[in-house]
């Protein structure tokens, strides 16, 4: 792992850009001592610099004292994409905009994206847990499909806070019963991009005996601000 830049914020959080091989990422660490690590994963290729993701990361580090990391996995953010990935991405966006999301489009786009992203996240995790800033168990926050993929393959993931969950590829839906770590699933009741019943069915399918569902009225971007606090308290219960 190489750190390429760093910035110390007024709240004491140290933000560092990093590279693991050819995987770019960002690490935020709190002002005091080694801390449990939370991986924050964006959905469907948003860049690691997405303002919503950065705000979540800074909140976790500054207010609750977590080390937080994110990466741009293969085909995500500004990393190069193959012509096939660009084609499938365009088809997915057209389907979502038309309100015609289908399993075929979902499998063609999201399925390979998840399978391509998981090894990059595991490579980054190997490097991150070796840092002196990181100590203790690891949490995962964000992209439901990737969270399931990592939780079933990566024993270091000790708790997960997942969002949406309506459009999760078949392989991850089938793997959900094997997810046994504590989890929190947040659902927006009127999410225009994630069918409600699919999200509820996914919650039922998880094998964890310590799972919590938070549902709020509103669309995909309407998650109430208090859910950020609740998500951090969830990690406090299971990572500390």
Helix (H, G, I), strand (E, B) or coil at 53: helix
Q: How confident is the model at residue 49 (pLDDT cuts 50, 70, 90)?
A: confident
The answer on pLDDT for 12 being more than 80 is: yes
Per-residue pLDDT reduced to its tens digit, 166-202: 788 999 999 999 999 999 999 989 887 788 899 999 9
Would you tell me the crossing angle of helices 51-64 and 226-239 to the nearest 10 degrees? 50
Q: What does the pLDDT read at residue 99?
A: 67
The structure tokens listed for 210 are 């310590």
Beta pairing partners, 216: 188
For the question of whether the overall pTM of this predicted structure is more than 0.85, the answer is: yes
Q: Are 95 and 141 in contact (CB under 8 A)?
A: no
Go through the domains of the chain in sequence order and give each one's CATH number.
Answer: 2-78+114-239 (3.40.50.1820)
Q: What does the pLDDT read at residue 100?
A: 66
Q: Measured between alpha carbons, how far is 37 from 4 in angstroms, rounded to an integer?
A: 20
């Amino acid at each position: 792992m190489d750190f390429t830049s760093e910035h110390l914020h007024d709240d004491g959080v140290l933000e560092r850009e990093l590279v693991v091989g050819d995987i770019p990422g960002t690490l935020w660490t709190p002002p005091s001592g080694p801390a449990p690590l939370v991986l924050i994963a964006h959905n469907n290729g948003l860049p690691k610099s997405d303002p919503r993701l950065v705000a979540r990361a800074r909140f976790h580090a500054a207010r609750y004292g977590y080390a937080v990391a994110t990466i741009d996995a293969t085909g995500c953010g500004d990393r190069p994409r193959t012509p096939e990935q660009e084609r499938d991405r365009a088809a997915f966006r057209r389907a979502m905009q038309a309100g015609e999301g289908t399993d075929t489009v979902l499998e063609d786009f999201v399925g390979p994206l998840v399978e391509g992203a998981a090894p990059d996240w595991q490579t980054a995790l190997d490097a991150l847990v070796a840092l002196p800033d990181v100590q203790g168990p690891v949490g995962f926050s964000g992209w439901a499909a990737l969270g399931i993929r990592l939780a079933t393959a990566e024993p270091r993931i000790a708790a997960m806070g997942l969002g949406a969950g309506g459009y999760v590829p078949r392989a991850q839906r089938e793997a959900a019963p094997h997810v046994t770590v504590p989890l929190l699933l947040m659902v927006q009741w009127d999410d225009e991009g994630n069918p409600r019943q699919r999200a509820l069915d996914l919650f039922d399918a998880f094998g964890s005996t310590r799972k919590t569902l938070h549902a709020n009225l509103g669309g995909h971007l309407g998650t109430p601000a208090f859910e950020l606090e609740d998500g951090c308290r969830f990690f406090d219960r299971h990572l500390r």
